[in-house]
Amino acid sequence: MMTAELDTIAQKMVADGKGILAADESSSTIKKRFDAIGVASTEDNRRDYRELLFRSSEAMKKYISGVILFDETIRQKAKDGTPLVTLIAEAGAIPGIKVDAGAKPLPFCPGETITEGLDGLAGRLKEYYDLGARFAKWRAVIDIGAGIPSYTAIRTNAHALARYAALCQEAKIVPIVEPEVLMDGDHDIARCYEVTEFVLKETFQELYYQRIRLEGMVLKPNMIVPGKKSAKKASVEEVAEKTVRLLKSCVPSVVPGIAFLSGGQSDEEATAHLDAMVKLGGLPWKLTYSYGRALQAAPQKAWSGKAENVAAAQAAFTHRARMNSLAALGQWSAAEEKKAA
């Protein structure tokens, strides 16, 4: 393990005013996104869409530190034959790769899942490193509902995350550790806090057992928000205060940065919450974004599969990336959002 190299890459991933573009949608997920805009999910269309993002020069150079890719994408070439990973690297961003095999039902735990993909991972990581990846992502999914999550689900997923992280660091790849507590239910913000605290403390315990170098990783957690179906809403200030308070109690200060997932929030909600957290100040780690839909919904709609819309899609992507960059610096405002739109 080359600790200096891992640490340097992790620091670059959370550089001031930059965040991570999650462009690692599985084939089934991107099909749903394309269906919504009336575009067939063919290999060429997926390539063309991602190429327009990676060729968004202003966004990629100023606001994006790294890009999480899907297995198909890391092997693809642009229309002119340039590997997509080369486009990312030439923009100054770091190519990364999603390596988990998705969430599958957890035996004897109805309604809960375990993320698979550890089998053969060491060999795949070596191949991905040779293809240009310098960081990886593994997502664990924890749902909140009647009688769940169970300790079995939390412990099993935390262990898998830690095993994945160890294999990554051994392969000279920085792991993004993503334990996501879903916001799909009707639970209130207090329940989200309680479950996320359990999940994060268990995750860092397992990372310790697996001898993970915390300076060479990035955490990708959910924010502390009420479920989508909850009757009790939360203000931006409450989300920020509760999220930061929880992270301070769970995340060691040597972790270089926390790159939040948007988790189903609207574009502007995800931006406003990040900005409010950064404005609280006094944080031991960098806070930034690792958004998928919250960065891509606008450019996907603008593009709609038409070549003549590429410039408009790139402008939409640049706008959302800039807004989140301002948030990561604590400089965003609703007025700025409206002025720049």
Catalytic residues: 178, 220
Contact of 227 with 185, CB cutoff 8 Å: yes
DSSP letters spanning 184-223: -SS--HHHHHHHHHHHHHHHHHHHHHTT--GGG-EE-PPP
Nearest to 143 by CA among 132, 157, 133, 131: 157
Output the CA–CA distances (angstroms, integers) from residue 215 to 58, 96, 158, in the order listed: 29, 18, 19
Contacts 24+ apart (CB under 8 A), 205-212: 205/158, 206/155, 206/158, 206/159, 206/161, 206/162, 207/161, 207/162, 207/165, 207/177, 209/162, 210/162, 210/163, 210/165, 210/166, 211/166, 212/162, 212/165, 212/166, 212/169, 212/175
Who contacts 310 (Cβ-Cβ below 8 Å, separation ≥6)? 52, 303
Residue 121 β-bridge partners: none
